[in-house]
Amino acid sequence: MPSSWRMRAGSSWRSDLACPASSKHLRVIGTTKDRLVHLKFSSSSSRTSPLLKPTVSSSLVESGSSLLIDEEQQVQQESGEPEQEKEKEKQEKEKQQQQQQQQQQQQQQQQQQQQQQQQQQQQQQQQQQQQQQQQQQQQQQQQQQQQQQQQQQQQQQQQQQQQQKQKQQQQQQQQQQQEPG
């Protein structure tokens, strides 16, 4: 395995290196203007001459830059990837759980609001019924008062009739007494 090779800026390139079947990418460390640059290259399915393409912008690598394969970095990356994937999965699951909880809370709030609205409607209906009952009671009371007034009027009429009869009787008696013999 060569210790270094060169890459033109913005280009893809082939390596004659044989990659192991388990390795899907190589960790490559490069220097650009005395600055350490980490680039990740994905390999094709061909083991004899894998096509390596940078997953980041190749413009970071200038013409003539020397790229070195660091086997330790490669091993660390391969061993660390499952953990990163697990962490991502955990984070995604947590996000999904949070979203589900939020949705459930929203649904519960909506249900509570609906229940409150229904209760308010029921209360309003009860109040309306009570008002109707009160109105009916008032009407009944008014009818009773009217009936009482009618009865009083009838009694007064009867009393007047009796008084008139008594007057007539008195007049008749006086006439009888005045008539001679």
Amino acid sitting at position 172: Q
Q: Residue 147: pLDDT above 60?
A: yes
Tokens for 19, please give them: 């990659």
Q: What is the pLDDT of residues 46-84, one digit of tens each?
A: 433 334 443 333 333 333 344 443 334 444 444 455 677
In a domain, 34, yes or no: yes
What kind and span of H or E run contains 106? helix 71-178
In a domain, 44, yes or no: yes
Q: Determine the pLDDT at residue 56.
A: 35
Q: Residue 95: pLDDT above 50?
A: yes
Cα→Cα distances 108→36, 105, 116, 121, 164, Å: 54, 5, 12, 20, 83
Counting the structural domains of the chain, the total is 1
In a domain, 112, yes or no: no
Residues 7, 67: contact at Cβ < 8 Å?
A: yes
In a domain, 14, yes or no: yes
* Mean pLDDT of the 101-110 span: 95
pTM equals: 0.35
In a domain, 31, yes or no: yes
In a domain, 33, yes or no: yes
Question: Bigger pLDDT: 115 or 36?
Answer: 115
Tokens for 31, please give them: 């220097």
Q: Determine the pLDDT at residue 181.
A: 60
Range(s) of the domain holding residue 19: 4-69
In a domain, 25, yes or no: yes
In a domain, 101, yes or no: no
Q: What is the pLDDT of residues 110-140, one digit of tens each?
A: 999 999 999 999 999 999 999 999 999 999 9
